[in-house]
Amino acid sequence: MLNSFVIFDTKPLGVELSALGIRMAWACHEKGFDIKLVFSEEGVWCATKKTGYHATMIQKLLDADATLYCRKKCLEMRGIDEDNIIEGIEVVGEEDITEMCLDAESVNYF
């Protein structure tokens, strides 16, 4: 059985696939799996300080001590300031992303 996952959420806020990435992270985390949820590409919009379903699920994950990340390069490419990211989501560089993927048993993209 797989025990560790890196889940990339790459779709923008409001797209169903982005919500599915967050929900998969929630379900796996609640079952005790080592989960790293990474907001990447257009998915970085999901990590911004907004209200709604995405923000509620992200906050539940953070409250349950899940690890959430946002790719710095993707934020910069979209002109999003790190101050606009939900508190508790760590902004990381490419070397950190590579290390996470190498250490995980499964890498998933939404």
List residues bridging with 37 in a β-sheet.
7, 68
Residue 71 buriedness (CB in 10 A; 0-12 / 13-18 / 19+): buried
pLDDT digits (tens, 9 = 90+) for 10-31: 998 888 999 999 999 999 999 9
**Six token digits for residue 109:** 């993209």
Across 40-60, b (16+ Cβ under 10 Å) vs e yields bbbbbbbbbeeeeebbebbee
pLDDT digits (tens, 9 = 90+) for 43-93: 999 999 988 999 999 999 999 999 999 999 999 999 999 999 999 999 999
Rounded Cα–Cα distance for residues 11 and 75 (Å): 14
